[in-house]
């Protein structure tokens, strides 16, 4: 895409460009209201050579926009703190809400190409990284996001001249980094790395637009024209990415109706086992810290199945400074207006820490599916998206353990009635619980489908038979111990 | 407070302590619902010597609590990134919402005492730091927060033994930091520094509780007893801190009725001045970056006074990668349930960056006052709280510039009618604007009071006469230029 590029030689009529740019900015401003009404979120990725004019292009594009409708983010290399999470986390975190435009001055491309050139990424890691980026961009597009990807291209000579000019003035000299100089010196190598990345990530539903950065005003006009055309098109019809082609390494798991629920544990055995598990977990948590392994534990289950008590036994055995229980309620407006996995990406544990999710992203294929909070297309797509999400976690070294807490319908009724009849417990039972109970059969279909389609080798489900809560608690703790021991 | 401490010699009956602790944990769990109903936010600060058992105390206190009602945060020393903001920012950011408990494993005390001992803080800086902490804790208490402050005290011998034991096991050895060893070696010096800090921050409405950490279970029981008593008391009657005694260096400012609004600027002069200002601002912004100065610009003004256009002219002259316009709408639930300055602390610019607030914390003494969104006590207290807030910013090196955009009532009417009659502008005018207009006189009283009471030398107001928008825009840019030049 870059290799055979013919740089602009004759200056286009500058005055003409300037006039057209001015008009185009007004056009862009006029798109803000339609964009808001269409609830279209837009990410404008501005990548390119150092000193190619990325900042100036953004500056020019936002000139007539209302600050309520856009944000600009300048993304540097990840800090030591940021490196304690999977690669995609800090990028997922910045995604805009619907109706807003996010301008990124470099993003995941710059980070990836730099690491590639510094040899921080092996060939295999680089391919894996491209896979992460493909997943990320596809999930965003499938979630209704418009991705506008600009690459500002300049020649080696142009770059050299600009870097020199910046270095001359003490107030702009700090803008010229070591990386820019290196890039200019090794222009051909960098060109190759850019080309490789651009080719690998040029999707029909989120194509790259190469912009000639030789002349500042012309490049701004080209960017504005492209952005305007892309938004106008998306307002007519959102880009539709392909389906993921991945065949997941799924592991068979029994249907809920075939799960025997008669398992029990005597109180005496329980007390002993609890003590033993607590001790082991405390020790393992220290080791996790030392070895900097992050852990994600997911609890899903029927209302009144005993999730809360089970979580409490597990979490109270762990160091609270490194373990957080995350109760997942219905999404806030902020969360509702972004891709649905956003609120989980932002809550991931850092290395050495444990996050216990009390309900999770699986809400998408249970309550959101059954209550119509998302479209059929949304929840059907979610199985793959969730598998992809969990693979990002496990590939980054996270231990992922998922529990389904299982009881039968009669046990639930007995527990509901007990809650209703015990004043201290009454706040735990709501009308919604009774309504959900009426949909037991529909839920069972959805849960079975979920378990079948997301029981991957890297992030497996475990069913906790919880008619006897003691049995379920010890089973959960034992599974966590096993998973941690295997990982350490 | 620590100097004459007699460490526990005879072990209290351990079995008895354990039983009482168990019972107290149940009591604490029973307080969760009342705490939620009373909308009481609680911060439990657990400070103390290294290896005194801070983590274990927190672990023990949360054992029976529901994860929906509390969070645990382990606060380390500030990272390089965090140091780019005023001291209080990262602490303000973690405050809990009403009805929730936040447990802090070390907080602003540990940071301050460490810096004091390392001589990173001069005597004067240390006093200033104590003042910041006093302001912080008082504002929280006045905002309805309960602060429970525990200090875990152990003897030099006990500390030494524990550090040795931790160091022996490879899975806990990482817990023993350089700082712990130093502290143990220089125990007397550290004791003095702790004593000094504890004495300076022991407020009747947020007192310190020294806990003997010699015996683990007993110290957990003491902590649980104290926490239980403090929450129970606060549910009856919240702590009431004193009023700030500070006499602000206020600068006289004219009443709005005395502001002459006949100032104008010809288009030709405007175009020239605009060009000149844009150039200067671009240059200054580069210098700000290099010198790492943060800037906060506040815009307040009547509806349709021309804030938006004024901000656009200013912001478009600045580098968007280092300048953010923050439109302040009504608070989200998250924001409403915390101290009202929280949503501004979280949005402060880092060093070298500029934040332009389109409306701001002054909403407290205008719309919130007039619409009854806060109590009379709340908004009356806010003048001092805002002056304190701004002083935290300017003392940390932030340039603060505040604009009041002024028009008369007839001009507003004309602009409202123009908006109503122009289809592209109609979204800018709402019924609320008309309702606010009816309260013009009440607003004028509030605005005058605000300008008089918060026009400090370090964070002054500037009135922009905006009947002629051109005049107001150039005036704003000139004032910003002047302020930046003075600071650089």
pLDDT at res. B11: 66
| Dihedral angle of Cα B65, B67, B68, B73, to the nearest 10 degrees | 110
Residue B10 confidence (pLDDT) above 70: no
Taking the CB of residue B238, how many other CB atoms lie within 10 A of it?
Answer: 17
The tens digit of pLDDT for each residue in A253-269 reads 999 999 999 999 999 99
Q: Which of A33, A105, A289 sits opposite B321 (nearest CB)?
A: A105
Measured between beta carbons, which residues in chain A are less than 8 angstroms from residue B48? none
Q: What is the mean pLDDT of residues B117-140?
A: 96
Lookup result for tokens 């608070």:
B331
- CATH for A256-487? 3.40.50.300
Instruction: Number of A to B CB contacts under 8 A, please give it.
Output: 101
- Asked if A67 lies within 8 A of B332 by C-beta distance, the reply is no
A-chain residue closest to B105, CA distance: A321
Residue B333 in contact with partner chain A when CB distance is under 8 A: yes
Secondary structure (3-state) at A323:
strand
Confidence category of residue A425, pLDDT binned at 50, 70, 90: confident
Whole-number Cα distances in Å, A260 to A140, A401, A440, A449:
41, 21, 18, 19
B-chain residue closest to A176, CA distance: B290
CA distance A423 to A6: 78
CA distance B152 to B52: 6
DSSP string, B268-329: HHHHHHHHHHHHHHHHHHHHHHHHT--EEEEEEE-TTSSHHHHHHHHHTTS-GGGEEEEE--
CA distance A365 to A379: 5
Cβ(B115)–Cβ(B84) below 8 Å? no
Same fold, A14-236 and A256-487: yes
The tens digit of pLDDT for each residue in A164-194 reads 999 998 888 888 989 999 999 999 999 999 9
Residue A51 in contact with partner chain B when CB distance is under 8 A: no
Q: What is the mean pLDDT of residues A227-239?
A: 96
pLDDT at res. A92: 97
The tens digit of pLDDT for each residue in B249-294 reads 899 999 999 999 999 999 999 999 999 999 999 999 999 999 999 9
* Chain B interface disruption, residue of A32, A33, A67, most B CBs within 10 A: A67
Cβ(A101)–Cβ(A44) below 8 Å? yes
Residues 6+ apart with CB under 8 A from A327: A358, A359, B67, B68
Measured between beta carbons, which residues in chain A are less than 8 angstroms from residue B423? none
- Asked if B171 lies within 8 A of A63 by C-beta distance, the reply is no
Measured between beta carbons, which residues in chain B are less than 8 angstroms from residue A352? none
Confidence category of residue B465, pLDDT binned at 50, 70, 90: very high
- Asked if B74 lies within 8 A of A427 by C-beta distance, the reply is no
How distant is the alpha carbon of residue B102 from its chain centre?
A: 16
Residue B15 confidence (pLDDT) above 90: no
Q: What is the mean pLDDT of residues A45-59?
A: 96
Tell me the percentage of chain B whose pLDDT exceeds 90: 89
Q: Record the tokens describing residue B467, joined without a space.
A: 């009947």
Residue A104 confidence (pLDDT) above 70: yes
Task: Give the residue extent of every domain in chain A.
Answer: 14-236, 256-487
Residues 6+ apart with CB under 8 A from A204: none
pLDDT at res. B16: 87
Residue B316 in contact with partner chain A when CB distance is under 8 A: yes
CA distance B209 to B212: 10
Measured between beta carbons, which residues in chain A are less than 8 angstroms from residue B170? 290
Length of chain B, in residues: 488
Lookup result for tokens 């709408």:
B329
Q: What is the mean pLDDT of residues B92-121?
A: 96
Tell me the percentage of chain B whose pLDDT exceeds 70: 99
Report the predicted TM-score, pTM, of the whole model to 2 decimal places. 0.91
Cβ(A293)–Cβ(A488) below 8 Å? yes
- Asked if A59 lies within 8 A of B316 by C-beta distance, the reply is yes
Q: What is the mean pLDDT of residues B472-480?
A: 98
Backbone conformation region of residue B48, classed left if phi is above 0, alpha if psi is from -120 to 50, else beta = left
Confidence category of residue A111, pLDDT binned at 50, 70, 90: very high
pLDDT at res. B175: 86
Q: Which of A191, A61, A47 is nearest to A133 (CA)?
A: A47
- Asked if B79 lies within 8 A of A79 by C-beta distance, the reply is yes
Cβ(A261)–Cβ(A465) below 8 Å? yes
Confidence category of residue B379, pLDDT binned at 50, 70, 90: very high
Average pLDDT, chain A: 95
Measured between beta carbons, which residues in chain A are less than 8 angstroms from residue B79? 79-81
Whole-number Cα distances in Å, A25 to A64, A413, B447:
6, 62, 36
The tens digit of pLDDT for each residue in A3-20 reads 889 998 766 667 789 999
Residues 6+ apart with CB under 8 A from B445: none
Taking the CB of residue A164, how many other CB atoms lie within 10 A of it?
Answer: 12
Q: What is the mean pLDDT of residues A433-452?
A: 96
Provide the ipTM.
Answer: 0.85
How distant is the alpha carbon of residue B324 from its chain centre?
A: 19
Q: What is the mean pLDDT of residues A195-214?
A: 97
CA distance A367 to A442: 10
Cβ(B293)–Cβ(B399) below 8 Å? yes
Handedness of CA B166, B167, B169, B173 (dihedral sign): positive
Tell me the percentage of chain A whose pLDDT exceeds 70: 99
Which A positions 428-467 lie with beta carbon below 8 A of chain B?
A: none
Contacts by B441-446, CB closer than 8 A, 24 or more apart: B442/B370, B443/B302, B443/B366, B443/B370, B444/B256, B444/B257, B446/B365, B446/B366, B446/B369, B446/B370
Taking the CB of residue B85, how many other CB atoms lie within 10 A of it?
Answer: 21
- Asked if A171 lies within 8 A of B334 by C-beta distance, the reply is no
Measure A254 CA to nearest chain B CA, in Å: 31
Q: What is the mean pLDDT of residues A102-117?
A: 96
- Asked if A67 lies within 8 A of B325 by C-beta distance, the reply is yes
Residue B4 confidence (pLDDT) above 90: no
B-chain residue closest to A326, CA distance: B67
The tens digit of pLDDT for each residue in B421-459 reads 988 788 888 899 999 999 999 999 999 999 999 999 999
Give the max Cα distance, chain A.
88
Residue A423 in contact with partner chain B when CB distance is under 8 A: no
Residues 6+ apart with CB under 8 A from A310: A299, A403, A405, A464, A466, A469, A472, A473, A476
Residue B422 in contact with partner chain A when CB distance is under 8 A: no
- Asked if B103 lies within 8 A of A320 by C-beta distance, the reply is yes
Measure A312 CA to nearest chain B CA, in Å: 8
Confidence category of residue A35, pLDDT binned at 50, 70, 90: very high
Q: Which of B67, B172, B424 sits opposite A358 (nearest CB)?
A: B67
Which A positions 25-44 lie with beta carbon below 8 A of chain B?
A: 30, 33
Which A positions 111-170 lie with beta carbon below 8 A of chain B?
A: 169-170
- Asked if A55 lies within 8 A of B320 by C-beta distance, the reply is yes
Q: What is the mean pLDDT of residues A436-460?
A: 97
Measure B246 CA to nearest chain A CA, in Å: 37
- Asked if A290 lies within 8 A of B427 by C-beta distance, the reply is no
What is the per-residue burial (b if ≥16 Cβ within 10 Å, else e) of A258-284?
Answer: ebebeeebeeeebeebbeebbebbeeb
Taking the CB of residue A375, how many other CB atoms lie within 10 A of it?
Answer: 11
Kindly give the interhelix angle for B431-438 and B440-454, rounded to the nearest 10 degrees: 80
Taking the CB of residue A338, how many other CB atoms lie within 10 A of it?
Answer: 22
Measure B251 CA to nearest chain A CA, in Å: 32
Cβ(A152)–Cβ(A49) below 8 Å? yes
Residue A57 confidence (pLDDT) above 70: yes
Residue B320 in contact with partner chain A when CB distance is under 8 A: yes
Residue A64 in contact with partner chain B when CB distance is under 8 A: yes
Residues 6+ apart with CB under 8 A from A374: A340, A364, A368, A382
Q: Which of B150, B177, B182, B151 is nearest to B166 (CA)?
A: B177
More confident: A3 or B473: B473
CA distance B414 to B431: 16
A-chain residue closest to B172, CA distance: A286
- Asked if B63 lies within 8 A of A311 by C-beta distance, the reply is no
Residue A309 in contact with partner chain B when CB distance is under 8 A: no
Measured between beta carbons, which residues in chain B are less than 8 angstroms from residue A311? 67
CA distance A111 to A123: 15
Q: Which of A57, A53, A108 is nearest to A78 (CA)?
A: A108
Q: What is the mean pLDDT of residues A423-449?
A: 92
More confident: B68 or A221: A221
User: May I ask the CATH architecture of the domain B14-236?
Assistant: 3-Layer(aba) Sandwich (3.40)
What is the DSSP pairing of strand A399-406 with strand A101-105?
unpaired
Confidence category of residue B12, pLDDT binned at 50, 70, 90: low
Average pLDDT, chain B: 95
CA distance A393 to A390: 5
């Amino acid at each position: 895409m870059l290799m055979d590029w013919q740089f602009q030689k004759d200056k286009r009529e500058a005055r003409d460009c300037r006039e057209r740019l001015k008009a185009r900015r007004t056009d862009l401003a006029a798109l803000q209201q339609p964009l808001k009404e269409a609830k279209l979120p837009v990410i404008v990725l501005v990548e390119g050579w150092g000193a190619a004019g990325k900042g100036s292009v953004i500056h020019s594009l936002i000139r007539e926009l209302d600050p309520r409708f856009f944000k600009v983010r300048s993304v540097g290399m990840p800090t030591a703190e940021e490196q304690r999470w999977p690669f995609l986390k800090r990028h997922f975190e910045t995604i805009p809400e619907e109706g807003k435009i996010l301008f990124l001055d470099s993003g995941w491309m710059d980070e990836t190409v730099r690491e590639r050139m510094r040899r921080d990424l092996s060939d295999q890691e680089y391919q894996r990284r491209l896979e992460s980026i493909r997943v990320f961009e596809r999930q965003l597009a499938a979630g209704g996001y418009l991705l506008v990807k600009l690459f500002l291209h300049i020649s080696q000579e142009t770059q050299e001249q600009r870097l020199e000019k910046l270095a001359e003035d003490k107030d702009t000299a700090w803008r010229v980094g070591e990386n820019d100089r290196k890039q200019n010196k090794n222009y051909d190598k960098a060109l190759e790395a850019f080309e490789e990345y651009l080719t690998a990530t040029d999707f029909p539903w989120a194509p790259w637009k190469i912009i000639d950065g030789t002349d500042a005003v012309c490049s701004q006009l080209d960017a504005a024209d492209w952005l305007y055309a892309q938004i106008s098109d998306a307002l007519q019809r959102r880009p539709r990415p392909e389906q993921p082609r991945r065949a997941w390494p799924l592991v068979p798991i029994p249907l809920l109706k075939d799960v025997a629920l008669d398992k029990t544990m005597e109180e005496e055995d329980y007390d002993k086992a609890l003590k033993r598990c607590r001790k082991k977990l405390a020790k393992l948590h220290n080791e996790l810290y030392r070895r900097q392994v992050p852990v994600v534990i997911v609890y899903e289950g029927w209302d009144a199945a005993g999730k809360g008590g089970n979580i409490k036994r597990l979490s109270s055995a762990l160091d609270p400074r490194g373990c957080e229980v995350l109760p997942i309620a219905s999404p806030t407006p902020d969360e509702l207006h972004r891709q649905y996995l956003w609120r989980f990406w932002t809550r991931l544990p850092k290395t050495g820490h444990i996050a216990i999710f009390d309900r999770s992203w699986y809400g998408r294929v249970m309550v959101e599916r059954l209550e119509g909070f998302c479209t059929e297309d949304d929840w059907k797509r979610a199985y793959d998206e969730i598998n992809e999400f969990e693979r990002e976690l496990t590939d980054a070294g996270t231990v992922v353990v998922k529990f389904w807490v299982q009881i039968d319908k009669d046990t639930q009724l007995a527990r509901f009635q007990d809650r209703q009849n015990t004043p201290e417990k009454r706040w735990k039972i709501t009308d919604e619980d009774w309504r959900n109970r009426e949909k037991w059969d529909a839920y069972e279909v959805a849960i079975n489908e979920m378990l079948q389609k997301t029981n991957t080798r890297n992030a497996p489900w475990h069913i906790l038979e919880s008619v006897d809560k003691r049995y379920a608690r010890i089973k959960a703790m034992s599974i966590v111990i096993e998973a941690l021991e295997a990982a350490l």
